[in-house]
Structure 1
């Protein structure tokens, strides 16, 4: 691959997701101190695989659109931007891409030292240098968002993720490129030990022989690694573009509000390219569209029904508890979707409502007893 490359459909959709998420993330952390518990906190965004800043046909890379949307945010006047408060760190390993990124940022924004935020562009390796830069910026003790968007390789040590997880109000996004699951035989076992925290944690995924299940197992294995790193909540989801190969992402956060913000971003993403977000737990029909979850006939999307049924195999639960599970355990579904799903499933006879009266979030539901032959 040269200095520049074409923007893949999955990457374009992922960028829209990042943009929507960051549009919510910045003001949540910077507009007030009451919600975060900080007095004018420092906030650091780390883009650890920054790239050259532009794609082959002129589309902006993540450092450019991240900085541009921050500086032109609707709430910028209320966010009190300053180089002391807001740090953006872009790390790129390849010298030619690093130099291209510097030129690209200068072309768009002029001298970085004159901006109302601090921008650090470093040539280095994500796994080796991320913690060093965060140390230098005295980022610890304040919110950090780490974007580890390597596309082809997931090679950031688990101890890096663990350090961020233990830092207050911090989150990470990691991507698995479309070929990673078929190329994992090429990866050094020592690297896998470093990424997953030891051979015992990733060996079962390596032993998975079914090609159609391999990606699910590896994705779940990495999600479990983020849990062990210290992130209280982890989302795993597959971004499926209309054309091209899917992209897999894992998001780690310590806050239910972070989960809601990420999922809200998914539902707001413009689907003009036909992308959708799929939950790896499901094996049913393809998703029917991110922005219109209900079919014209009023039926609930099949993925949601399948997931609710999976939750009820654990045991009966109130609709409210099912909604909590949808928030914390599924890729894109929110608590508000539980009631609509259970209503549909009751009509289909696939659940039993144990409570009498009107179906509400307090109603207790279960799966029907299996028919004995």
Structure 2
């Protein structure tokens, strides 16, 4: 991207220099309430070279909108529909996740075919989401690379460095790829002919929180566990991965299967 164009809730519309149509990374700051209208997202989504990052704070809607018509209307304008209001029927523990996924769908409806979320938690344990939207697979891959640098364990979380309970920020943690192994195993099992490494990498990019660069090691671990076979044995772009003829007695671990 050649420029950064931040917008806040009260400054919608094209800038003085009318940059839309040029490669742009647009930051839409809605912290404190859902004040980014869906119409603005649609306008930005009409330009294939535009990417967006939206700050999304879910507690405002879960705390105030159910009993306040004006706040519900703000939610309708932000989401582009009333489907988000089903959050009031969700369990308390599932409300934030429901709103996050509804807003990711809003970005897709606006034209941003690929989306990611990044979860931020401050020292008061307050949650804020950053939601990224792009129309390009390369943009998606680059953003994932950046996210995994911030959170080398899970790729989707950031805790405020002011949090005094964090004492090991300078340690390098091993990524938790157990969910990736389960996801790839299920994807391979969907076809009797198996999958190629490029197919697995693209699936990981588009359908999971994981990076294509993590696929080869995940396949190697699946093979060591007896869950898959590879032909040829060396794992590279020409490798085809099949389910093992005799499956292992336990499925690949999936302790963090809900990350995506």
Q: TM-score normalized by structure 2?
A: 0.72
Q: Which residue of 1 aligns with 2:156?
A: 278
Unpaired runs of 5+ residues, structure 2, are 158-167, 250-260
| Residue from 170, 189, 195 that aligns with 2:72 | 189
1:79-99 C-alpha deviation (Å, 9 max, x unpaired): xxxxxxxxxxxxxxxxxxxxx
Shift of 1:140: 2.3
Distance across 1 between alignment mates of 2:96 and 2:231: 40
Q: 1:321 to 1:137 in 2, by over 3 A?
A: same
Partner SS state of residue 144, structure 2: helix
Q: Are the equivalent residues in 2 in contact too, given 1:235–1:250 (CA < 8 A)? A: yes
The 5 Å alignment of 1:191-210 reads 191-199=74-82, 201-209=83-91
Q: 1:353 to 1:275 in 2, by over 3 A?
A: closer
Q: 1:158 to 1:319 in 2, by over 3 A?
A: same
Q: 1:204 to 1:48 in 2, by over 3 A?
A: same
Q: Which residue of 2 aligns with 1:352?
A: 228
Q: 1:230 to 1:320 in 2, by over 3 A?
A: same
Q: Which residue of 1 aligns with 2:107?
A: 226
Larger radius of gyration: 1
Q: 1:130 to 1:171 in 2, by over 3 A?
A: same
Q: Which residue of 1 aligns with 2:254?
A: none
Q: 1:291 to 1:206 in 2, by over 3 A?
A: farther
Distance across 2 between alignment mates of 1:165 and 1:198: 17
Shift of 1:289: 8.0
Q: Which residue of 1 aligns with 2:198?
A: 320
Distance across 2 between alignment mates of 1:275 and 1:343: 19
Distance across 1 between alignment mates of 2:122 and 2:222: 29
Distance across 2 between alignment mates of 1:257 and 1:356: 28
| Residue from 227, 234, 239 that aligns with 2:120 | 239
Q: Are the equivalent residues in 2 in contact too, given 1:158–1:195 (CA < 8 A)? A: yes
Partner SS state of residue 195, structure 1: helix
Q: Are the equivalent residues in 1 in contact too, given 2:7–2:29 (CA < 8 A)? A: yes
Shift of 1:229: 0.6
Partner SS state of residue 212, structure 2: coil
Q: 1:238 to 1:359 in 2, by over 3 A?
A: same
More helix per residue: 1
1:167-213 C-alpha deviation (Å, 9 max, x unpaired): 131011112236346425357222222111212x324444222x222
Q: 1:206 to 1:326 in 2, by over 3 A?
A: farther
Shift of 1:243: 7.0
Q: Are the equivalent residues in 2 in contact too, given 1:352–1:365 (CA < 8 A)? A: yes
Alignment root-mean-square deviation, CA: 3.4
Unpaired runs of 5+ residues, structure 1, are 1-24, 30-42, 50-124, 280-287, 295-300
